[in-house]
């Protein structure tokens, strides 16, 4: 499931984050790449242990956890510490699949990568190129979102970042270990949850809505790992 999550950050949070990113100590992004990815990765990243990265990671984590679409779609068990990258001057990241298991750079905890997320800090008008291209069973999707918005997609997807030919593309990237590791099941639960929300707004907590809610929780109880 590929899902656009709008307005993850408030305007005030976005402005503060951008000011931190513009003054941050960037390093070669290949230092955090795996064996496969290092061959196709060319970008800049913030050292996760830097003060700016720690403050930004806390901001992003808090923003995601308060957003109902993220919570419903990702069903997070563990959110790996958000990290931050910059693409400029032709930088790119070729086609790759994210490692199945990643070690959190701060806690050292191993995280299974079920759901990948990119949160944009630059508006599309501020740079040229830089599309996130995700390939899945439904085709190829090209993503350029407004600053403050995020995209969720299965970590099993082949994806890439096209070269940035002008300007700078600033973003956060992170992985979630979901309580429900299977993407098809997560998508089904998300669809049911959204249907419950829409029905509740139209008809309230009637018997049919309560029955559907029970079905949702029974499926979650059947499939979740906690």
- Feature table: binding site for 2-oxoglutarate: 169
Q: Which residues are annotated as a binding site for Fe cation?
A: 96, 98, 159
What lies within 8 Å, CB to CB, of 88 at 6+ separation is 44, 127, 164, 167, 168, 169
Q: Which residues are annotated as a binding site?
A: 96, 98, 159, 169
What lies within 8 Å, CB to CB, of 175 at 6+ separation is 79, 80, 98, 102, 111, 113, 114, 115, 116, 117, 155
Q: 3-state DSSP call for residue 190?
A: helix
Q: 3-state DSSP call for residue 111?
A: strand
Helix residue ranges, H only, the chain: 11-22, 51-65, 68-74, 183-203, 207-223
């Amino acid at each position: 499931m590929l899902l656009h999550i709008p307005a993850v950050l408030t305007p005030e949070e976005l402005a503060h984050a951008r000011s931190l990113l513009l003054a941050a100590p960037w390093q070669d992004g290949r230092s955090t790449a795996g064996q496969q990815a290092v061959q196709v990765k060319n970008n800049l990243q913030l050292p996760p242990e830097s003060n700016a990265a720690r403050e930004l990671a806390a901001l992003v984590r808090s923003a995601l956890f308060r957003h109902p679409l993220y919570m419903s779609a990702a069903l997070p068990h563990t959110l790996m510490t958000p990290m931050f990258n910059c693409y400029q001057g032709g930088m790119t990241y070729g086609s790759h699949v994210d490692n199945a298991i990643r070690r959190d750079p701060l806690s050292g905890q191993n995280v299974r990568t079920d759901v990948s997320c990119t949160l944009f800090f630059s508006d599309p008008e501020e740079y040229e190129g830089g599309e996130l291209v995700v390939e899945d069973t439904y085709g190829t999707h090209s993503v350029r979102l407004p600053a403050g918005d995020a995209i969720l997609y299965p970590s099993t997807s082949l994806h890439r970042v096209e070269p940035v030919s002008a300007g700078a593309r600033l973003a956060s990237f992170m992985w979630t270990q979901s309580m429900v590791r299977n993407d098809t099941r997560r998508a089904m639960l998300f669809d049911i949850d959204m249907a419950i929300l829409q029905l509740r707004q139209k008809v309230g907590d009637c018997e049919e809505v309560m029955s559907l809610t029970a079905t949702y929780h029974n499926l979650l109880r059947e499939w979740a790992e906690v």
